[in-house]
Structure 1
Amino acid sequence: MKKLTVPRFFITVLMVLVGFTLYSCNDNEGPDIPPVKIENLPGNYKGKLIIVQGNIKREGVKDFKVKKDTISFAEFPISEIVKTVVKDPVKAENAIKTLGKVKYDVKYAAAINTANNVIELTLTPKTMELQIPVDGVNKKTVVEFVSKQKGYYVGLDQTLRYALTAEKITVDGTVVTPYEVIDYNFPFCIKN
C-alpha cells in the first residue's frame, strides 16, 4: 500500500505544478476589445426609455439620432409634460394629438475615457418651448431640462446610456407648483 500512496502523491503534485505552469502561460488580457473611438458614437439608435414622475413609471422604446455633437429626437415623448400642464385627461389627450410630433435636440460634449473604454458625454440640454392648446387658447409652456449625470457610450457592447430630467415647467410665465420632476432614463440604447 505504501507503494501506491507515494506515486499518487507525486502525480498529484505534478498535476498541480503543470496546472500552475499552464495558467501562468495564459494571456491575462482577455479577448481583444478594440478601443472606443469618437467616430463610433454617431448613428441611428433605438433604446429603452423609462419615464418616471413621482410614483408613476412608464416604459417604452424610442428612436433617436446621434450626430457629431447633438442627440436628436424626431418625436420626443411629451405626454407627461402636457398632463402636468393640462389636468383634465380628455383635454390633455386632445392637446397631445394637436401638438403631434415634437422635435428636440440635446447638445453634448464627448471625451474618451481610455481606462474604461467608454466615451463620456456631458449633456447640455436646452429648454423646450411648447404652445399647448387648451380651450382654444395656447398656453406658452417652457420646460427646463437638466442632466444630473454623464452619459456613456460603452465600447465593450457598443451601447449608449444617458438620462435627462425635466426639472421645471413654466406656463405663461408662472412656474408650475406643486411639480414632480420628470425623469427620462435611457439605460440601454443600440444602433439600428
Structure 2
Amino acid sequence: MKNLIVLKLITAVLILSIIFSLFSCMNEDRIEGPPVKLEDINGSYKGRLITVQGDFRTEKIIDFKVKKDTLTFPEFPIKEIVMAVVKDPIKTQNALTAMGKVKYNLKYTSVLNADKNWVELNFISKELELQIPVDGVTKKAIVTLVAKQKGYFAGLDHTLRFALAAEKITVNGTVLDPFEMVYYNFPYCIKN
C-alpha cells in the first residue's frame, strides 16, 4: 500500500514538472534582441565556412559582401567542385591555379520578423559556371547551387547565418554521376 502511494506521488510530481517545462519552453521560441532594419544587413563580412562532402570536412574563414539584395563572394570556394570533375588531386590543384579567383553573386529577398529583431533571408538560386582546364582541354561545368534553408541576420549580435549546397554538376552537357553533394555552411559571420 505504501509503495502504491509513493508511486502515485512520484508520478504526480513528474507530470507537473513536464507541464511546467512545456509552458516555459513555449516562450523560448522568441529571440530577444534590439530592433533591426533591413538595411542593417548590408556590409562586409568575415565568416566561418564549414565545407562538407561525404566524410570530408574543411573549415576556413572567408570574406564576402552584402549589398541591398545580393551576397557577393569575391573568391567562392570551388576546390571540392573541381575535384569532383577532375578526380586527380595534382590536376585539380593545377586547374585551380589556372582558374584563379571565382566570383559568385547570390541574390536574396529579405523580411523582418514580427518583433523586428532579426531578418530572414530567402535565397534565389543561381547556377555557377566554371571553365575547368584539364589536360589541355577546357571542361564547361555548370554547378547548381541551392539554399536548403533560410538565412538569418540576428539583431542581438549583428551576425549572419546561412547555408548553401552544390546539388548537381553538369560537365559539357552531361550530369556528373556519381556526385556527392557539397555543403557550404556559414554558421557564424560577423561584420568587419
TM-score category, normalised to shorter length: 0.7 to 0.9
Distance in 1 of aligned mates of 2:105 and 2:170: 19
**1:39, distance to aligned residue in structure 2 (A):** 1.4
Alpha carbon RMSD of aligned pairs, Å? 1.2
2:159 alignment counterpart: 159
| Alignment map for 1:129-140 (pairs within 5 Å) | 129-140=129-140
Aligned residues: 161
Q: Report the Cα distance in structure 2 between the residues aligned to 1:58 and 1:33, rounded to whole angstroms.
A: 32
> Residue in 2 aligned with 1:188?
188
Given the alignment of the two structures, is residue 90 of structure 1 paired with residue 69 of structure 2, yes or no? no
Tell me if structure 2 keeps the 8 A contact 1:35–1:114. no
Q: Which amino acid aligns with 1:179?
A: F
Paired AA for residue 144 in structure 2? E
CA contact (8 A) 2:36 2:116 kept: no
Give, in whole Å, the separation in 2 of the partners of 1:137 and 1:57. Answer: 30
- Give the greater-gyration-radius structure (CA): 1
Corresponding position: 1:100 with 2:100? yes
Q: Say which SS state the counterpart of residue 57 (structure 2) adopts.
A: strand
Q: Render the CA deviation track for 1:77-133: whole Å, top value 9, x for unaligned.
A: 000000000011111100000000000000000000133721000011200001100
| Structure 1, gaps ≥5 residues long | 1-31
Secondary structure of 1:142's match? strand
Alignment match, 1:143: 143
What residue ranges of structure 2 are gaps of 5+ in the alignment?
1-31
Distance 1:115 1:55 in 2: 40
3-state SS, counterpart of residue 108 of structure 2:
strand
SS state of the match for residue 186, structure 2? strand
Q: Which residue of 2 aligns with 1:170?
A: 170
User: In 2, Cα distance between the equivalents of 1:148 and 1:77?
Assistant: 18
Distance 1:66 1:128 in 2: 18
User: What amino acid is aligned across from residue 34 of structure 1 in structure 2?
Assistant: P
Residue equivalent to 2:22: none
Maintained 8 Å contact 1:154/1:160: yes
Q: Is the 8 A contact 2:37 2:116 kept in 1?
A: no
The CA deviation string for residues 22-81 of structure 1, in whole angstroms up to 9 with x for no partner, is xxxxxxxxxx94311111110000000000000100000000000100000000000000
